[in-house]
Amino acid sequence: MPDFTFPPRQPVASSRLPLTLISLEDWALVSVQGADSTSYLQGQVTLDVAALPAEKHLPCAHCDAKGKMWSNLRLFHRDEGYAYLVRRGLRDTQVTELKKYAVFSKVTIAADDSAVLLGVAGFQARAALTNRFAALPDAQTPVIQDGDSTLLWFGTPAERFLLVTTVEKASELKQALEGEAQLNDSQQWLALDIEAGLPVLDEKNSAQLIPQAVNLQALEAISFKKGCYTGQEMVARAKFRGANKRALYWLAGKAGRVPEAGDALELRMGENWRRTGSILAAVQLESGDVWVQAVLNNDLEAESVLRVQGDEGGQLAIQPLPYSLAEA
């Protein structure tokens, strides 16, 4: 990706976020093109790719044969085929795994480092983008193609936009919003994803978790009706045999340090603390609060008190997610 990284500032919760232009250097774009792109992806990811409309983007998982996720992706139509977003640190490993059987299909899978990834969020984000593009995506049409740009709409935790665009267009937008929007790096987008309950999988947690352990079944990311794909048997068993005992949580509170992916938590049980769960991502906000995205047992009481392992002064509480985990 072209060097389009903004100076870091501590993230802010969506309810207090001023208009912000965000560089997404921690995410990467991958292009999937060719006559067999739909059928190939259909056999590799949890989403029903053949049913994905041109105007929609959805999350999905790319699993190993045991149903454990190499990564989670956000897939959408771009050019004559597809593109997806993945965490940059996982991209090379994930692309290598996805390409394993591509030699037998008319499909080209390649990292796209020519595009710039930008987020636009905060106060009057839509107004800031009005007239900058021919049309803007919304709840009814979450994907808009505009020349070399693809615009994605997100409704949670508050309206925000992800732009896949050219260096020229990104520079033009930055200049147009100068003095109106503050700049921030990927940590702000990460905070918004944590608040929205959208799983963020990095290297430490790759090939460790089934899709349901990070709530993907609640995010339209898994089709239980389509044909075979890698890991399908284990993903289906987790649903139909109740094999999944974990869920993704958003925790907020105080911590002596910002934990890293793969770190453990502790659950307060009376006067004692018991090790539990695994952290996917964490950020410290401008307010000093720490937000943690973690995978924990799915039967935790809402009022449970947790902390980062060994953090004697820390205390984290479960926050409500903007979607339900109740089975349809």
Asked if residue 45 has pLDDT above 60, the reply is: yes
How far is it, in rounded angstroms, from Cα 13 to Cα 288? 11
Are 118 and 251 part of one and the same domain? no
**More confident call, 325 vs 243:** 325
Question: By C-alpha distance, which of 143, 151, 153, 158 is closest to 188?
Answer: 158
Mean pLDDT of 74-87: 98
Are 157 and 290 part of one and the same domain? no
- What are φ and ψ of residue 231, in 5° steps? 90, 0
How far is it, in rounded angstroms, from Cα 59 to Cα 70? 14
Q: Where is the domain boundary, 196, 214, 233?
A: 196
Q: Residue 56 domain-assigned?
A: yes
Q: What is the pLDDT of residues 90-135, one digit of tens each?
A: 999 999 999 998 988 999 999 999 999 999 999 999 999 999 999 9
CATH number of residue 112's parent domain: 3.30.70.1630
Q: Residue 99 domain-assigned?
A: yes
Cis omega (within 30 of 0) on the bond before 53? no
Q: What is the pLDDT of residues 255-285, one digit of tens each?
A: 999 999 999 999 999 999 999 999 999 999 9
Asked if residue 2 has pLDDT above 70, the reply is: no
| Residue 189 labelled as part of a binding site | yes
Sequence-distant (6+) residues with CB within 8 A of 44 are 62, 98, 229, 230
pLDDT band at 161 (very low <50, low <70, confident <90, very high): very high
Number of H helices, E strands in the chain: 6, 18
| Residue 27 labelled as part of a binding site | yes
Q: Residue 8 domain-assigned?
A: no
Q: Residue 213 domain-assigned?
A: no
Asked if residue 328 has pLDDT above 50, the reply is: no
The whole-model pTM stands at 0.97
Sheet (strand 81-87) strand order: 58-63, 69-78, 81-87, 27-33, 108-111
How many other CB atoms are there within 10 angstroms of residue 131's CB atom? Answer: 9
pLDDT band at 142 (very low <50, low <70, confident <90, very high): very high
Q: Residue 53 domain-assigned?
A: yes
Query: Rounded mean pLDDT of the chain?
Result: 96
Are 33 and 177 part of one and the same domain? yes
Percent of the chain at pLDDT > 90 equals: 95
Are 250 and 186 part of one and the same domain? no
Asked if residue 209 has pLDDT above 70, the reply is: yes
Q: Where is the domain boundary, 196, 211, 229?
A: 196
Asked if residue 186 has pLDDT above 60, the reply is: yes
Q: Which sign does the torsion angle of CA 251, 125, 150, 172 carry?
A: negative
pLDDT band at 169 (very low <50, low <70, confident <90, very high): very high
Q: Which residue segment(s) compose the domain that 261 sits in?
A: 245-319
Report pLDDT for 1: 52
Q: What is the pLDDT of residues 216-235, one digit of tens each?
A: 999 999 999 998 999 999 99
How many domains is the chain built from? 2
CATH number of residue 283's parent domain: 2.40.30.160
Asked if residue 190 has pLDDT above 60, the reply is: yes
Are 186 and 251 part of one and the same domain? no
Asked if residue 301 has pLDDT above 50, the reply is: yes
